[in-house]
Amino acid sequence: MQVLSIHRYAKISPFKAREVTREIQGKPALDALAELKLVPKKAAPLILKVLKSAIANAENNNHLSPKVLVIKEAVIGEAVTMKRIMTRARGSASAIRKRTSHIRIVLTDEIPIHRRADQIRKKKDSKKKESPTKSKKESSASKDTTSSAKSASVLLSPVNSSDQTVLAPKEAPAEKVS
């Protein structure tokens, strides 16, 4: 289900506000809330207000949990431009454009939430599960190879010669079999 919230005629240039909305698009709503509180731009509090309104709409009107909401769209559209003039030299004037924008945020619960921290956690958990539990065939095969290796092993003992130390083969002591 999609939830919509719009702030019309916000007194900020759409070019400046789009920088902030690009950062939050596609993120979980609660993560975007936390991120917007830390962004040092004029557009951040305006977008934060719209996002909070969209979350409140989802909770109250559609009975959706904010934990499952994802920002599907965060769009900044151009609104009316107020035109003013500034006097210049020799009696001329230059135009001042005071731009406004429409901030539109669409939340949805249809997109699954994928966080990088969750993916890393899953990889670690799967590695932990694989390493301590070996299959019965692997464990019995490893026991067979270690017992045969002990019986047929040849120990190397150092033998001193005049120039260098050389390793010579020495037989292993016999094991008691019970």
The full set of domain ranges for the chain reads 2-83+94-114
pLDDT of residue 114: 77
Higher model confidence: residue 77 or residue 160?
77
> Is residue 159 classed as helix, strand or coil in its secondary structure?
strand
Q: In the chain, what percentage of residues exceed pLDDT 90?
A: 61
Give 3-state DSSP helix, strand, coil % of the chain, rounded to 5: 45, 35, 25
Of residues 107, 109, 104, 108, the one with CA closest to residue 50: 104
The pLDDT value given to residue 116: 74
Long-range contacts of 162-168 (CB under 8 A, 24+ apart): none
Q: Summarize pLDDT for 2-37 with one digit per residue, the tens.
A: 999 999 999 999 999 999 999 999 999 999 999 999
Residue 123 to residues 24, 43, 118, 132, 146: CA-CA distances in angstroms? 26, 38, 9, 15, 31
Please give the pLDDT value at position 146. Answer: 52
- Tell me the two tokens of residue 59: 């909770």
> Is residue 45 a contact partner of residue 87, using CB atoms and an 8 Å limit?
no
Give the start-end residues of each E strand in 109-141: none
Residues 6+ apart with CB under 8 A from 168: 156, 157, 158, 159
Q: How far apart are CA 141 and CA 166, in angstroms?
A: 34
- Average pLDDT score, the chain: 83
Summarize the confidence of residues 153-175 as an average pLDDT: 56
Place of tokens 């150092």: 158
Q: Which CATH superfamily is domain 2-83+94-114 in?
A: Ribosomal protein L22/L17 (3.90.470.10)
| Average pLDDT over every residue of 120-149 | 63
